[in-house]
Each structure stands twice: as C-alpha cells, then as structure tokens.
Structure 1
C-alpha cells in the first residue's frame, strides 16, 4: 500500500475529540512527575507499613498510588515471601483454585506501525505477511477446538486490511465454526485502538474482552519506540479502552510490555490506568491486566541490548504487586514465559493463561512453527494437555467457562461480585463442568489420571449443598453426552 494511503487511513481512524473528552482538565491521567515523586517519597517503607498494605489488599480494596509505590520499593526478602503468599490468598479469595485457559489466534500480521521491538513492524522485510480468509480461519479454529479450546483471543495487526469490518466478519466465523462436541464460546480481541462508532459494531457482533496494551506508559520512551504509524499517537492509544467502555464493550484489558522502560513506573502506570477507568465508569475498571515481557523476535536487533530487561526474580515481584494493587481484577500470564517461570509465577495470583499456543498466522492447522509469521518467539511450547496436567499437579483446576459473559455478568455486574469475593461461587461450579467436558472429550490418559481427582475435591469444597447437588446432576448429564451446561 502506498504511504499516502496508509497515512490517510490513519488520519481517518484517529478522532482527536474522542481523546480530549476523557482528559482531566486537559491533562492525561499519566503524570510522569507525580509517578516519579510518589516512588521517591515511598523509597524506604517500614515493615509494619508493608504488612498494613497487604492486609488492606487481602480485604479486596484497591491500593492507592503511594501504597503501591511502597510495595515496589520493598527490599526485605522476608516481606516479599509474605507478599507472594498474600497474592495467592487474594487470588483464591476472588477466583478460587481455578485457572482460565484460552488460546491466542493471530488472524493477520499486516501492520502500518514500526515499533522497534516488534517482529511485525512494517520495515521488517523478513516477516511473511498473511491475512486469513474465512476458510483458512475456520480451519484454524477447528484445529483449536480439536485440542479442547473454548476461548480465544484473536489478534490483528494494525492495518487497513484489519479494519473493523474484517474483524467483525472473523468474529462471526469464529462463533459459527463447530467441530464434534466442541465450539468457541468466547472470543476476545486484541487489535488497533478504534473509535466509539467502530467499537459499537464489534459490540453487536459479540466481542468479548477488548484488549489494547499501552506497551509503555512513559511518554518519552513511547515516542522513541513507536516512531510512526497509528501507534505513534500516544493519546489515541491511551484512551482506547475509555472509548470501548463508552461503546458498551464493558470488559476491557489493559497491559504493559515490561522491558521497554523502568518496571516500577510501568506498574504505577497500570494502577493509574485502572484508577482513571474506575473514576470515569462508575467503579468499573479493567476486566484483566496483562504483563508480558519482551521476548526475542525475528530480525529485531533492538532486543539484543535491552537497558530495561526484567529478570525472573523481578518479574515475580511485579506480578505480585499488581495482584495486591488491584486485587479483584483478572491477571493474564502468557506463553511468552517459559514453563518453569509460569509454574512459579502463577502461584502469586494469576487467574488466566494461554496454552498450546502457536502465534504464526495460519499455523495451528498446519501444526508447524514458522518464525517468519510470528510477532515474537514463545517461551512455553507445552501442549494444552501438558499445561492442564501441570496445573493439576499444582492444585489448580482448569476452567473453560464462559457463562458469565453469556449470562450478562460483565462490566459492573461482574466487578460488583468480584469485589465482594463472591464470583468464584458461580465460576467454580462452571469450572468443574467445563473441566469434565475436557476430560471426557480431549484429555490424554495421563492427564485424566493426574487431574480427575480435582472434580471430587472441588465438589466437596462447594459451600452450598443445593449448588453441589445441581452440579452433580449436571455432571451426570455431561457423562451422558450433553454439553455446554452452566449456572
């Protein structure tokens, strides 16, 4: 596509008035000076202060910036061990012992942006560009259904080839594709920031959570790392999820790409983003927070000398602080991380992971890894079945539940229940039911042996006898061939 037509498309997409309307007296909610001053003012927190902050988080109260800054500045390893344990307590209190599983599905990798850290950047001549048509997409989805997946995050490059109409068509294809006993019941989207009008189109089609990651909240670094394209406009991206909420897409996902700037600043940025959404939308903030780390990508030399590299120990700490800072929000740990790191970090409070992931466009149906069609190189190459088995050995039950969305428990409804620590009373029974489906239809014998005990364990732990009896009856119906039963 000619540069002039790409530029025209970008100009047509960006609507400055849909940025300005959300600012606070003309200013962004990201105040670099405030963040740096808050981190400095809480440089040497006392032990008692840290423990009081942990106690507040355990009561499912969102932390204030000064409290999060104190946690980030903690240097006492004994206290960090207490924070790790508190993070898991919070997760169990809100979400129970379940882990939601999903698969990423890259639909198109055409991109107008030139992000220096990304394998999809428009100047990367070694990337093979592909946009799937309906039949190719259906084949990908059937391959995923055949593994047992029920939930997707569909990912699109930022390009006119992936405009709102294309995204809407691919969502329709995803929901319409069936295979055996399986189907996709929830499709989340990671795509370019859109206008309120375009987001309303996706709402009508049935979009799940809409994800837009700011990558880095530090404006000078953002401008340097995103030199041109749609993504060069910091403000258009920063308020993408405000527009989504206004459009009625009430489940949104925020995230930062750790390794682009100072990790403490980015955690503070995620908190400030959460606070601004909650203030503007009646207490409803992000449905999920993601915290991917930079990973190698084909022909991307930027990654070789990364000033802000986040090591494994620091990564575990930042995830823990996010869990304590926004205790009622879902947290996504992706397959960018290797299996060892994921098995460790998931135990400080994560609630969702992907598994059996392949991020090459069109690669699931081919059952192949093609780095020339990937945005970056994955760290965890376990199959879905292997990951489920490992989670079972850690004491977590896998959930493919999508009932909340189909019953209207989204946005304010979901957040109201989650903030009271009650959502697992609905979600754990549904986790048991979807896990039973997986064990019957897709699990290997080894996984059945390792994981089937979890159903009896979680049934016994259900606090309501009537609910337990209903779930037992539904499990019998699933044994007899019924599917997609939920509370």
Structure 2
C-alpha cells in the first residue's frame, strides 16, 4: 500500500471510529478487507464474495445514517466501500458508483438535458417534435417486409405481458395499491400456480414475460425468484423482472437462472418527495433504489428499464433527472440496452391526492424527448393508458407494449375475455384501462404497418 493510500485508509478508520455506531464491527471488516486485498491473486474466493456483500450492506446503512448531511469524508467512505467490494468480487476495475451526483441538475456528467431543454418548453411546437421522434424511431426500428413483392418498411413492436406472482408487500408507499396498510386480499403464487398463469400467457402468444411482485422478503426471496426463472426458462420463454431492488449477489443469481432484463422505476428523483412518499420498508432507502441499475449491470444483466411515475413530483424535473441517470449508466456500461417507461398515476389509495395532473400532450412530449435523447432505446407503454392514446403513441415512438394485462396475481384465466378478467380481479396494483384482447391489439398493429414480435430476437427464433 502506498504512503498516500495508507494515510487515506487511516483517515477513514479514524472517521469510522468517531462517527459510526457500529465502529468496532466495521473496523474489523475493514481489516479483513486489507488482509484479503494484500494477496489479489487469490481473489475472488467464497470468503471475499461474502465480505463484499457485507460491505455493500454497510455502504447503504451509511447512506441512511448520514442522510442529506454527507460531507467529504462520508463521500470518501461510500466510494471506498464500493471500490473494496468490487475488488473483492474480482471483477473488472471501475470507477465508484456516483448516480447520486449524476442525477442532480448541477451534474456535468452529460449534456443530454442541455441539448433537449427547448423541447421541454410547452411553447415548442408539439407537431414538429412528434415528427422528429417518428422519423428517429423509423430510422432505428424499421425492418424490411418479409413480402418479396413489397418495398414497404415495417416498424417492429414487441408485445409482452406482466406476470404478477405476489401482492404481499412490506412497503408503505402512499400511492400504491399494494402498500402494506391496505386491507386487500393478498395472494402469493406457488410455482405450479405461476406455471399455470405463464402457460395461459404463452397460449396468447407471449414469449417475453415480465415477472412482477411486491416486496415481502420472507416470501419474495432470491431463491423464490430464481426457482421461478429457472422453471419458466425451461418453457422456452424470455424473462424480465420488475421486483424490489436487489443486491448485486441477488441480481447475479437471477442472471445465472436465466433472467435477461430488469425494470425498476425510481418513481421520483426528487429525494425529499421520495422520502415523503415512502414512509417505511426497504423501499424507503432512496439510494438503495437509485443505485440498483448499477448493481444490475455489474451483475451482467444487459437490459435495464428506467422510469418515473409521472404525477408524484414535478414531471419535467423527474424526466430530466431520469435522462441524466440514463446518460450516466451508458457512460459506465456502453453496451447496456436501455428502456424508458413513463406511466401516469391516475388512481391512488384513499388519503393520497395526486399533486400533478399529467395531460396527454405532456405525456406525448415526454416520450418524444426520450426518443430524441436516446434514439435506439426501447420506449414502453402499459395498459394503464387508454386505447386511443396508445394507438397514437405507437405510431410516434413506442416500441414495446403490454397487452391483455392483469395487475393482480392469478389474474389470468383460460378465457380470452380480458374485460371479464379485469372485472373479477382483486387486489390490483393499478387499474387496467386498455382492456382490449391481445389478438385485437396485435391485429391493429399489423393493420397499421407493424411487425409484431413476441421476443427481442427475430420472429420465430429459438430462445437459448
């Protein structure tokens, strides 16, 4: 260890001793790290990986303890713990995670928002903006028609379905239909029930399925998800997950089980609003959630979906922050495939009033800006929006849509009457607005010049 590194290490030790309520335990961990790193050729090992997990937990505990009052030494400790954990895992050297800095308006990490500022202005002509977004989408997502006698280019559209597996949740998120205080019928599916739901979706064409669950660690554990992922991969399905923020080790295990993408919305990037909305539970930790995409990418998962729940906070500031976040992630992981979704909160549990009304024009503007900022990204639209608006947006910039969705566990039945399913489902996370059957949506896409895809690969391609 160099003299400067030794001096920095001693400064960190002294700060931990002076400020950490668990100083004795954490100083012992730091000493274990130094001993293991003194022989880097022996890394990684089971011992070093376990220690890396402890450092990750310590790091987020530190985030929570120092809150908004972090000083230079706090920042040094956070970065040092991150670097140590990475070294102990034996992975490629990298700079420390700094999403906490990148998402701020003062961030100089990228100039995405500077370039697009004029388009956030309502005075900017929406018609011109949609024309640009439509052109850019066509350039990146058009394909040649399989008809040899046709010169027409088709736009591709991926259809997917959410597969809700559990509505149990320990979080107190004021806006959510799964929040812990609500007296709803909670459902947790076992593997046979999940398989039955998945096969119903497969019968409707869906080979890309999104596993969704509330946050209830005793039930929705890493082994539970890994078991479901492994089982469904044997069904020759392409799988993504939209679950609680996980550790690096958990994401690694799910990637090894066969998951290929993670969707995780920050909900709002306004930290003070975030704290007011997430009162209790693991999700109350802003930074644990904010850095989850870093952990996803570091675990080797190549597709990440970002998003904000429009209406919780200032929508313009939230989308700007999301784009800064995306720029930071692309700088760190150039091969990463990004997706964006901008769901609007239109219904909320009793006692929560939605502070911002997001009209259709603003939603369209936001989606167009995402397209222009990241031309090759997937833009995702769920069934919480009405059919007419979904049909309008698909022609502009959307490349991925859910269809025939249920937002409650066990909500799919052998009937193809999606409206009946929605009517009888209980404990929904949010109401489904576009209740058209899958075949109706698929047929409408084809009529409008789209090639419908059911996986990210070529139509009919085998899944590995």
Same fold (TM over 0.5): yes
CA gap of 1:208–1:13, structure 2 versus 1, over 3 A, is farther
1:93 is the counterpart of 2:139? yes
1:146 and 2:166 equivalent?
Answer: no
1:121 matched residue in structure 2? 179
In 1, distance between residues paired with 2:193 and 2:426? 18
Deviations 1:102-145 (A, max 9, x none): 111101111111111100000011x2111101111111011111
Is 1:103 aligned to residue 169 of structure 2? Answer: no
Mapped contact 1:116–1:300 kept (Cα < 8 A): no
- 2:346 is paired with a residue whose SS is coil
SS of the aligned residue for 1:269 comes to helix
Q: Within 5 Å, give how 1:324-339 maps onto structure 2.
A: 324-339=372-387
Equivalent residue for 2:280?
228
Q: CA deviation at 1:312?
A: 1.0
How far residue 31 of structure 1 moved from its aligned partner, in angstroms, is 1.6
Out of 82, 94, 101, the residue aligned to residue 28 of structure 1 is 101
Residue in structure 2 matched with residue 171 of structure 1 by the alignment: 229
Q: Quick check: 2:119–2:369 contact (8 Å CA) kept in 1?
A: yes
Query: Which residue in the other structure is 1:81 paired with?
Result: 127
Deviation at 1:146, TM superposition (A): 1.4
Tell me, yes or no, if the aligned pair for 1:137 and 1:173 is still in contact at 8 Å.
no
Answer with 1 or 2: which has the greater Rg.
2
Please say if 1:17 is aligned against 2:65. no
SS, match of residue 360 in structure 1: coil
Alpha-carbon distance, 1:26 to partner: 9.6
* Partners of 1:139 and 1:365 within 8 A in 2: no
Q: Distance in 2 between matches of 1:286 and 1:308?
A: 30
Aligned length: 362
Report if the CA contact (8 A) 2:380-2:398 is conserved.
yes
* Superposed displacement of residue 90, structure 1: 1.1
Give unpaired runs (5+ residues) of structure 1: 1-10, 36-61, 178-183, 404-429, 435-483
How do residues 423-434 of structure 1 correspond to structure 2 at under 5 angstroms? Answer: 430-431=458-459, 434=460
CA deviation string 1:32-60 (max 9, x = no partner): 5569xxxxxxxxxxxxxxxxxxxxxxxxx
- Per the alignment, residue 34 of structure 2 pairs with none
CA distance in 2, matches of 1:352, 1:24: 29
Q: How does 1:388-403 map to 2 (within 5 A)?
A: 388-403=442-457
Q: Contact 1:277/1:286 (CA < 8 Å) preserved in 2?
A: no
Tell me, yes or no, if the aligned pair for 2:103 and 2:322 is still in contact at 8 Å: no
Q: TM-score, normalised by structure 2?
A: 0.73
Q: Structure 2: 5+ residue runs without aligned partners? A: 1-52, 64-77, 83-94, 143-154, 416-420
User: How far apart are 1:359 and its partner, in Å?
Assistant: 1.5
Q: CA RMSD in A?
A: 2.6
CA 1:192–1:375 in 2, change beyond 3 Å: closer, same or farther? same
Q: Kindly tell me: are residues 485 and 202 of structure 1, through their superposed partners in 2, closer, same or farther at Cα, counting changes over 3 Å?
A: closer
Measure the CA separation in 2 of the matches of 1:268 and 1:16. 30
- Give the alignment of 1:177-196 within 5 angstroms: 177=235, 184-196=236-248
Rate the CA distance shift 1:271–1:188 in 2: closer, same or farther, 3 A. same
**How far did residue 394 of structure 1 move?**
2.1
Q: State the Cα deviation string for residues 365-422 of structure 1 (Å, max 9, x = none).
A: 365234532101011111110001111222212111343xxxxxxxxxxxxxxxxxxx
